[in-house]
């Protein structure tokens, strides 16, 4: 089948690039890229790879679309963004220089012609100083944007990293489960997940008020997620269970199911999410429920962005599949442990004992 080139869209705000594919009635979120870090792009099959100092991020082109067109769209947007930043920096330099010169000229008029040599020397020194420090001035006017700062304005990003733990042994201990996420990154992951959950934009909350928390990445079209659902319901009686929905298995079908859930107010999402796992329920019934709930204008657009952020986090944290549960101390919780309440209690209790001993 010949590839069809869709209208890919890449928009950049405060160094955060949002990539969409306008297929069907609703644009599909393909990913988010933080351009505050140096990065370059390459093709890998049906994916565009973003390579930066933080690692690699895959942007998957939808099936039967031209991945080369996606790469061209991304690179063109980045080029325009860089040119715009350079132009704004130059304009800012010129404005500051003109202001300094104007100030010097005004001072010359005030002190009279007798002071011209002194004032002229002062003005030249001021301009020279400004030019020598241009790099510092430019950085002050161009904010050092990152994912956390953008999320405060456009709620579709992950929160900032917390401080690394002081004990390297703790990082080494939690890395023995085969998860390829580097220890230092995993050490700050619980704080990131907690901060994201507190914003109530990206999640479905099963329960709250318990001392310990389980974070789960799940896709409603994932068979293992469906089988694990009763175990999560049971675990929610003893622990806070917070789900980050992703559409990594069902893709378009999952997006159509998840987005209406995230459109709802936080307190209504759990019931709508559970309906997705019940036979006879689905996106059609969920759409009717959404219409009856007072959804603010633009809220569903935010929900689509939130889902995109969850998928970026899924890739960034090298999560190998769904369902993927993470304890609030950074350890991966296997499905076997989740499905046995006694094993789960022992697993979480072991972490409490370890922290108490330290």
Are residues 176 and 293 both part of a single domain? Answer: yes
Are residues 353 and 213 both part of a single domain? Answer: yes
What's the CATH number where 266 sits? 3.40.30.10
Are residues 328 and 184 both part of a single domain? Answer: yes
Max distance between CA atoms of the chain, in angstroms, equals: 92
Are residues 215 and 296 both part of a single domain? Answer: yes
Are residues 65 and 177 both part of a single domain? Answer: no
Q: Is residue 84 part of a domain?
A: no
pLDDT at site 84 = 80
Last residue of a domain, one of 79, 96, 114: 79
Please, what is the end-to-end C-alpha distance for the chain in angstroms? 61
Are residues 311 and 224 both part of a single domain? Answer: yes
pLDDT at site 46 = 84
Look at the alpha carbons of 199, 200, 201, 202 in this order and tell me if their dihedral is positive or negative: positive
Q: Is residue 20 part of a domain?
A: yes
Q: Is residue 120 part of a domain?
A: no
Q: Is residue 87 part of a domain?
A: no
* Distance from C-alpha of 252 to C-alpha of 183, rounded to nearest angstrom: 33
Q: Is residue 199 part of a domain?
A: yes
Last residue of a domain, one of 79, 106, 129: 79
Are residues 62 and 158 both part of a single domain? Answer: no
Domain of residue 320 covers 149-357
How many independent structural domains does the chain possess?
2
Tokens of 225: 């997620």
Q: Residue 124, SS3?
A: helix
Are residues 339 and 245 both part of a single domain? Answer: yes
Are residues 182 and 309 both part of a single domain? Answer: yes
Q: Residue 355, SS3?
A: helix
* Distance from C-alpha of 93 to C-alpha of 98, rounded to nearest angstrom: 9
Are residues 240 and 340 both part of a single domain? Answer: yes
Total-model pTM? 0.53
Q: What is the mean pLDDT of each run of 10 residues along the chain (358 residues)?
A: 66 80 74 77 86 74 86 89 79 68 50 37 32 32 32 37 39 59 88 93 95 97 94 96 95 93 95 83 43 49 88 90 94 95 93 53
Residue 43's H or E segment, with its range, is strand 39-44
pLDDT at site 34 = 75
Are residues 36 and 161 both part of a single domain? Answer: no
Q: Is residue 70 part of a domain?
A: yes
Q: Is there a contact between 17 and 33 (Cβ–Cβ < 8 Å)?
A: yes
Q: Is residue 53 part of a domain?
A: yes
Last residue of a domain, one of 79, 110, 135: 79
* Distance from C-alpha of 171 to C-alpha of 230, rounded to nearest angstrom: 31
Are residues 54 and 154 both part of a single domain? Answer: no
């Amino acid at each position: 089948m010949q590839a069809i080139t869709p209208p890919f869209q890449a928009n950049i705000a405060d160094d955060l690039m949002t990539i969409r594919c306008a297929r069907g009635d609703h644009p599909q979120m393909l990913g988010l890229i933080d351009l505050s870090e140096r990065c370059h792009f390459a093709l890998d099959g049906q994916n565009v790879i973003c390579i930066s100092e933080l690692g690699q991020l895959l942007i998957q082109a939808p099936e039967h679309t031209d991945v080369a067109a996606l790469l061209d769209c991304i690179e063109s947007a980045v080029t325009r963004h860089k040119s715009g930043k350079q132009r704004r920096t130059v304009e800012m330099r010129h404005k500051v220089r003109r202001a300094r010169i104007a100030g010097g000229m005004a001072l010359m008029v005030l002190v009279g012609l007798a002071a011209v040599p002194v004032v002229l020397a002062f003005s030249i020194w001021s301009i020279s100083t400004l030019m020598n420090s241009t790099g510092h001035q430019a950085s002050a006017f161009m904010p050092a944007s990152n994912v956390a700062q953008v999320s405060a304005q456009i709620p579709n990003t992950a929160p900032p990293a917390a401080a690394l733990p002081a004990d390297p042994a703790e990082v080494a201990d939690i890395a023995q489960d085969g998860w390829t996420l580097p220890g230092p990154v995993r050490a700050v992951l619980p704080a990131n997940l907690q901060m994201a959950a507190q914003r109530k934009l990206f999640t479905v909350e099963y329960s709250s008020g318990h001392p310990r928390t389980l974070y789960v990445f799940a896709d409603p079209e994932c068979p293992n997620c469906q089988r694990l659902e009763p175990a999560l319901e049971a675990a929610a009686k003893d622990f806070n269970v917070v789900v980050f929905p992703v559409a990594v298995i069902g893709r378009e079908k999952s997006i159509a199911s998840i987005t209406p859930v995230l459109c709802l107010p936080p307190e209504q999402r759990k019931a709508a999410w559970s309906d997705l796992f019940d036979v006879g329920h689905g996106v059609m019934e969920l759409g009717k429920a959404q219409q009856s709930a007072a959804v603010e204008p633009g809220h569903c657009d935010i929900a689509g962005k939130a889902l995109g952020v969850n998928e970026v986090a899924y890739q960034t944290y090298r999560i190998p599949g769904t369902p993927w549960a993470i304890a609030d101390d950074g350890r991966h919780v296997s499905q076997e442990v989740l499905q046995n309440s006694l094993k789960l209690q022992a697993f979480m209790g072991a972490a409490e004992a370890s922290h108490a001993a330290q």
